[in-house]
Amino acid sequence: MKKELWVITGVVLDETIQFSLLELCEYAKTSQEQVIEMVEEGILEPDGASVHSWRFDTKALKRLQIAMRLQQDLGVNLPGIALVLDLLEEMDALRQMQGR
Is there a domain that residue 3 lies in? no
Structural domain including 20 reads 16-99
**pLDDT given at position 83:** 96
* Residue 23 banded pLDDT, cuts 50, 70, 90: very high
Which CATH number fits the domain that encloses residue 44?
1.10.1660.10
Is residue 2 situated within a structural domain? no
Total domains, the chain: 1
- Give the pLDDT score at 17: 85
65 in a domain, yes or no? yes
The predicted pLDDT at position 78 comes to 96
Q: Is residue 4 part of a domain?
A: no
**pLDDT > 90: what percent of the chain?**
74
Could you tell me the CA-to-CA distances from 22 to 26, 45, 93, 100 in Å, in that order?
6, 15, 30, 39
How high is the pLDDT of residue 8?
46
Q: What is the pTM of this model?
A: 0.79
Mean pLDDT confidence for 30-46:
96
Q: What is the mean pLDDT of residues 52-59?
A: 94
13 pLDDT band, cuts 50/70/90, is low
Element (H, E) at 53: none
